[in-house]
Chains A and B, each alone.
Chain A
């Protein structure tokens, strides 16, 4: 998968920009607050329709402008497509080859990117919700329909929570509660089953890569830690039965708290290092290595699913990694990733094999271009 050409218009601090990229490595360098990450954000927006900073249109469109767009020419296998995301008011519309895409379904699946930014350290150190988001995105990459399954579970959950609170601490009417318990159990079982099988695929890849980066003496592992232990297997039907009986058993407690205590919305992904939970035991450097291994796993997984490597977006990563890990990252990058886009304040720290183009970014403009 290759991004050949990119144009931005009234996006963040970039008034207008149009450029071609190298098939291998593209480096954006320059001082802070010049617009380097904004360019990566625009590429990410083309892939996901989302900002990786969670920003709304109002923040993405250049100040005092009514609208903006991001456009790119994407090559995948032999096929070339023109993608454009137009930001206007609160709307994000997608055009594929100048034709308005009718559904989100049509939109996704044209470009895939994996982002690695300093904040990603939180996947290892931070709250469980960050790890759930990580797994959910990986599942979504393999099964686009998962997006709706997850949304349906969340909706059923919010309905049930309203029922728990509605009668001021007394047990809600049984029939209506049963209906939502059943829905929550069946939708929740689907979510759990998808996550379990994803982790099954991730685990061996992750362990290998980690060993590669950290050395043979370090043993990393990961497993899905459900709030409801499945009895007799992780098939959907077994998970559904386990969830349903938990919801019923915890009803009194849930009414007291005003929310549903158990289910995939509180589950976690546990990273282990040498037999201990990494979250509480790993050092800063070990967290970095774990996250690095997870990200590379994500890239390899996508590569397998898509048949082509995804784009890799590295935002200020070299400043976060020491020299050894940086070299390891770059080696894997060159091996497994396709096209790479990275930002840095220090272009000299990037020692890379492969065709490289360096763009100097200043005040929202590309002021020079150096190929090597």
Chain B
């Protein structure tokens, strides 16, 4: 089936979105076209606006529409630890817990030689600069648990070591209310091998 060229272009752009296949893209495209009240204009304006107004925080590389992000403008948080995360969604997840009162540093990726991503492709240099100018009481490495996240954590630990800052790694284990009997094997194995003195 041949779609009119403008429609095909729209479908092609939409299907580049993660998790959106050709079928869903076509459905979305028809929805956008059918909607009244200038929905298409509204959507494209929102897209362009977001793209031009949003940038990364000068200090921590979180998304912001200012020079500094909402976390970094709050100077009461500056004396706390720095939590290193892979991505903005990870930052938001930790922020939602409401338990963390320090600031963040977003790497925007992990070390992955297989995909050609090395330390220089991450926001690491700015981290070192940050640590040199104002040493936090602690650096919490919250990269994901997996080969790449673990490699990145080890790498950061090595390059930060000379600065003499306390480095910690988030724990993995059994969730609160987690009934051992119903826990998946991997979580349970990991919790067992990561046990601590009590």
Question: For residue A156, which residue of chain B has the nearest CB?
Answer: B147
Binary interface profile of A, 142-184, with partner B (CB < 8 Å = 1, else 0)? 0111001000100110111011001000000001101110110
Contact B113 A148 (CB under 8 A): no
Instruction: Kindly identify which residue among A103, A166, A180 contacts B151, using a CB–CB cutoff of 8 Å.
Output: A180
Contact B151 A145 (CB under 8 A): no
A155-B148, A160-B113 known; 20 new pairs, CB 8 Å cut-off, are A143-B189, A145-B186, A145-B188, A152-B146, A152-B147, A155-B147, A158-B114, A159-B113, A159-B151, A163-B113, A175-B155, A175-B158, A176-B118, A179-B111, A179-B155, A179-B158, A182-B154, A183-B147, A183-B151, A187-B147
Q: B111 contacts which chain A residues (CB < 8 A)?
A: 176, 179
Contact B185 A143 (CB under 8 A): yes
Contact A105 B185 (CB under 8 A): yes
Instruction: Kindly identify which residue among B113, B184, B188 contacts A166, using a CB–CB cutoff of 8 Å.
Output: B113
Contact B113 A105 (CB under 8 A): no
Contact B184 A105 (CB under 8 A): yes
Interface members, chain B 73-98 (any A CB < 8 Å) = none
Q: Which residues of A contact B (CB under 8 A)?
A: 103, 105, 143-145, 148, 152, 155-156, 158-160, 162-163, 166, 175-176, 178-180, 182-183, 187
Q: Bound state CA distance, A62 and B150, in angstroms?
A: 43
Contact A178 B158 (CB under 8 A): yes
Q: A182 contacts which chain B residues (CB < 8 A)?
A: 154
Q: B147 contacts which chain A residues (CB < 8 A)?
A: 152, 155-156, 159, 183, 187
Question: For residue B156, which residue of chain A has the nearest CB?
Answer: A179
Binary interface profile of B, 181-192, with partner A (CB < 8 Å = 1, else 0)? 000111011000
Q: Which residues of B contact A (CB under 8 A)?
A: 111-114, 118-119, 146-148, 150-151, 154-155, 158-159, 184-186, 188-189
Question: For residue A157, which residue of chain B has the nearest CB?
Answer: B147
Contact B155 A176 (CB under 8 A): yes
Q: Bound state CA distance, A159 and B111, in angstroms?
A: 10
Task: Tell me if A's interface is mostly helix, strand, loop or mixed.
Answer: helix
Question: For residue B189, which residue of chain A has the nearest CB?
Answer: A145
Contact B112 A148 (CB under 8 A): no
Question: For residue A104, which residue of chain B has the nearest CB?
Answer: B184
Question: For residue B153, which residue of chain A has the nearest CB?
Answer: A179
Contacts known (A158-B114, A159-B114, A162-B113); A179 close to B184, Cβ less than 8 A? no
Q: Bound state CA distance, A274 and B155, in angstroms?
A: 50
Q: What is the minimal beta-carbon distance from B198 to any residue of chain A, in angstroms?
A: 21
Question: For residue A172, which residue of chain B has the nearest CB?
Answer: B113
Q: A180 contacts which chain B residues (CB < 8 A)?
A: 113, 151
Sample (13) of A-B pairs whose CB atoms are under 8 Å apart:
A144-B185, A145-B188, A156-B151, A159-B112, A159-B148, A162-B114, A175-B119, A175-B155, A176-B119, A179-B158, A182-B154, A183-B151, A183-B154
Q: A187 contacts which chain B residues (CB < 8 A)?
A: 147
Q: Bound state CA distance, A148 and B118, in angstroms?
A: 24
Q: Bound state CA distance, A217 and B50, in angstroms?
A: 81
Q: Bound state CA distance, A144 and B146, in angstroms?
A: 17
Q: B185 contacts which chain A residues (CB < 8 A)?
A: 105, 143-145
Most B CB within 10 A of own CB, among A143, A156, A159, A179: A179
Q: Bound state CA distance, A178 and B111, in angstroms?
A: 13
Q: 9 closest pairs, A vs B, by CB?
A: A162-B113, A145-B185, A145-B189, A179-B154, A155-B147, A105-B184, A145-B186, A144-B185, A159-B113
Q: Bound state CA distance, A175 and B151, in angstroms?
A: 11
Q: B113 contacts which chain A residues (CB < 8 A)?
A: 159-160, 162-163, 166, 176, 180
